[in-house]
Structure 1
Amino acid sequence: MVAPGAHGLRRAGPGEDFWQYRPATHGDTARSIDWRRSARSDSQFVRDREAQTAQAVVLWASGGQGMTYSGAQDRPSKRARAQLLTLALAMVLLRGGERVGLLGQPARSGRVQAERLAEGLINAVPAKGDEDAPSPKALRPNQRLVILSDFLTDPAWLEALLTRASGLGVRGVLMQVLDPDEESFPYSGAVLFRSLSGAVRHDSRDAAGLRDAYQARLAERRDWLRAQAESAGWHFGHHTTDRAPALALSWLYQVLEG
């Protein structure tokens, strides 16, 4: 599991984890000498620890119109589930001392930041259309970025974002959030399909006849997303809204440092 809070900077400094032994120099006190290591040679050695700092984690949940879809009254919309996961992950990370923020906003630590994040999610303005994408210009060096979306619209934006992310040392996670109906495609007979924005419509006389082709396209999209993530050193996962959110939260928490 990811240990939230302190993260190594790969150099000596304040921290808890061992970094390296180095020969003692003028100014090192007797307390700083590692006498056990020094006893194995004719020199005195100091045990350095690795400098650590709280990492900055930024989160982005799609507000595209398609995210408001739910296939059943007893299931949350994709947008509601993505926002829940965003806030839950933020709370876990903040509890560990991380600096957390929504993409494009300052990443901060502390209890007050949890309130800011909740307010930001509640007041987030949905996109006017089906398309929605995070801005590559909002990325900052060495952040960790978590993106939650259904990734059902044109994903061309992802390549540009991952290219900029690689240049800035930004690593992260892609989480595809879908309604189970979007996985199984349970439709049959005459069905009028339309996007939530109304921009795309398809009138089918035999919806069941589309199932195999639809699921093949979905699998193709998912393979493409996984390949894009892996080529950038990121992680890719998927979650459906009929499953317990704790499962997705646990996975996100574990891979965030991967």
Structure 2
Amino acid sequence: MQLDPKVLMTIKNLPLLAKTVIDGFMNGFNKSTIKGPGMEFSQYRSYQPGDDLRSLDWRMFARSDRYYIRESEIETSIAVRFLVDASASMNHMDGAIKKIDYAKWLAASLAYLVNIQGDAAGLYVFKDGGLFSLASKADPQHLQRIYHQLDHIQPEGKFTQPAHYKELFGSSRRELLVFITDMYQSRDEIYKLLDSLAALRHEVIVFHLMGQNELDFDFKGYTALEDLETGETIEIDTLQAKKIYKEKLEQYLEDIRMQLLGKHIVYKLINTSHPLDEALREFLLRRKKG
């Protein structure tokens, strides 16, 4: 079941939204790939005293009247850190949907998925001139803290890279970093951050959010556009500018893709008018490969 972002807007409770998104997504997904501690299902074996009862397969019990345990290909869990861009440009709207709202829904849904997989989730919000951090943990109470912080994000100012990123992200532990951003930068600030994160050898996924109106250059009724971070405005002639814009946009997106490919970073463009499914599938694909 896919949930249109317009429907998600009507769900005001973030924990409920996250559960609704993941439950709907899992109904159409092969559940065997997301059971256990976030690992792909491998095989069954007979239950032994002391085994974790959460790994019992009740369908097998119903068919055979015997207890079986699902075994996973890999038994270790990982820490997943969600990095959210909260600069002013994330206030961009496509219809009634803001990029920051889509970012919140995506981060909350993935954090919920991470939690039920038994992995640790952390939240890092890049704000104007600073960074809010919530270290990774794997308990339900911590998930509620993540929801609370996501709920209260108010985008403002420009994107800035924290000076102490090594202290925050330098870890010998296996980690997955999920960066949700619009890739808006004036002096390569985001590229510099990604350079730093890639150098630490963690796996990094970038979800690049763009509105349908940005992708189509569809700003009907507007004669000027405002830069949300600098306040500067430019006059536009949409009919004349559309073809040039589309050509430059295609080159811009290709440049981003190639830049991140060179850093061994996974890149996924996400249209904020589309359901979250594309991002969820990409996340699970990387999680299984990690």
- Cα distance, 1:226–1:256 mapped onto 2, change above 3 Å: farther
- Cα distance, 1:176–1:166 mapped onto 2, change above 3 Å: closer
Match of 2:79?
Answer: 56
The offset of 1:180, in angstroms, is 0.3
1:132 aligns with 2:159: yes
Partner SS state of residue 136, structure 2: coil
TM-score scaled by length of structure 2: 0.65
One-letter amino acid matched to 2:155: P
Where does the alignment leave 5 or more consecutive residues of structure 2 unmatched?
1-29, 44-71, 125-132
Identity %: 17
Task: Pick the aligned partner of 1:117 from 138, 146, 160.
Answer: 146
TM-score scaled by length of structure 1: 0.73
Q: Is the 8 A contact 2:91 2:98 kept in 1?
A: yes
The offset of 1:172, in angstroms, is 1.2
One-letter amino acid matched to 1:120: Q
Q: Deviations over 1:51-109 (max 9, x none)?
A: 84321110012112121122313xx2111001100010011011000011013321000
Q: Is the 8 A contact 1:150 1:178 kept in 2?
A: yes
The offset of 1:191, in angstroms, is 0.7
Any residues of structure 2 matched to 1:170-189 within 5 Å, and which? Answer: 170-187=202-219
Any residues of structure 2 matched to 1:217-228 within 5 Å, and which? Answer: 217-228=248-259
Partner SS state of residue 183, structure 1: helix
Q: Distance in 2 between matches of 1:231 and 1:154?
A: 21
Q: Distance in 1 between matches of 2:229 and 2:265?
A: 31
Q: Is the 8 A contact 1:188 1:208 kept in 2?
A: no
Runs of 4+ off more than 4 Å: 1-4, 49-52
Q: Distance in 2 between matches of 1:6 and 1:251?
A: 14
Bigger proportion of residues as helix: 2
Task: Pick the aligned partner of 2:240 from 204, 209, 225.
Answer: 209
- Cα distance, 1:111–1:219 mapped onto 2, change above 3 Å: same
Q: Distance in 1 between matches of 2:235 and 2:76?
A: 55
Pair member with larger Rg: 1
Q: Is the 8 A contact 1:69 1:78 kept in 2?
A: yes
Q: Distance in 1 between matches of 2:198 and 2:276?
A: 29
Where does the alignment leave 5 or more consecutive residues of structure 1 unmatched?
8-15, 18-48
1:168 aligns with 2:200: yes
Match of 1:85?
Answer: 106
Q: Distance in 2 between matches of 1:256 and 1:220?
A: 30
Any residues of structure 2 matched to 1:189-208 within 5 Å, and which? Answer: 191-197=223-229, 199-204=231-236, 206-208=237-239
RMSD: 2.8
Q: Distance in 1 between matches of 2:193 and 2:102?
A: 24
